[in-house]
Structure 1
Amino acid sequence: MVSVKNSDVDVKLGEIEALLEKLGKEHPKEISAFSRFLRETLDNKALTTREKELIALALGISAGCEWCIYLHTRKALEAGAKPEELMEAGLVAVLMAGGPALMHLIPLTKAIEAFRKEHEKE
């Protein structure tokens, strides 16, 4: 797993982890079921995990979910996506969702840059 420190990306990813930990304690059956569904859905089948993460990224952008953008940027890169593919997925989201989605290319750009820097350190 790629980690990014001291950035918007790190804050958002930390918030996701904290939420899932809290909900896992308070609502273990629901979170367990959601986690199983997530794993099964994103597993390689007719579409690769990489392709599914690019789709999830585009949907996160069109929904305006910064947490989704950061998470699925990381997951897409881990699944082998290239920064150019991430941006193309973002532009497809803009095509479908318009100007508000265009503004969500800002967190996408931050995430790509943060993860790129982290990869360069490895």
Structure 2
Amino acid sequence: MSKKPSDIFNETNFVFGSKSDFKDAYPEIQEMSIHVTELESLIWMKEQVTHHLTLERPGGEYINCTNPSCEGGGFPMGNILREAISGKKEKIEKNITCHGAETSGRRCMHAFKVSGSVKYKA
């Protein structure tokens, strides 16, 4: 069985950076409420699972795909957060297709709907 992107990230030691606690990495955030809903596809919109990310439970760098046929699937949630935080965006609304591939070789059809808000310290 192949490893999920979050497993690879968690096991990697970076040369030019280090992993840190979310609150230490983003001290400017006062509160955060983000829902990540995994969909069977962007066409059918059948919900599979929902993650609720908060300042206390920010999740990880990656959200994994739950499709059992998908290898290396999911998407880098950390990139979405860094983009929002660097632009001081208070609302996040994105649809993202899974970055993985099914064992048959075709792209995974699962997708993720990201929506929520970030409140910054004054």
Which of the two has greater helix per residue? Answer: 1
TM-score w.r.t. structure 2 length? 0.26
TM-score w.r.t. structure 1 length? 0.26
Which of the two has higher C-alpha Rg? 2
Which of the two has greater strand per residue? Answer: 2
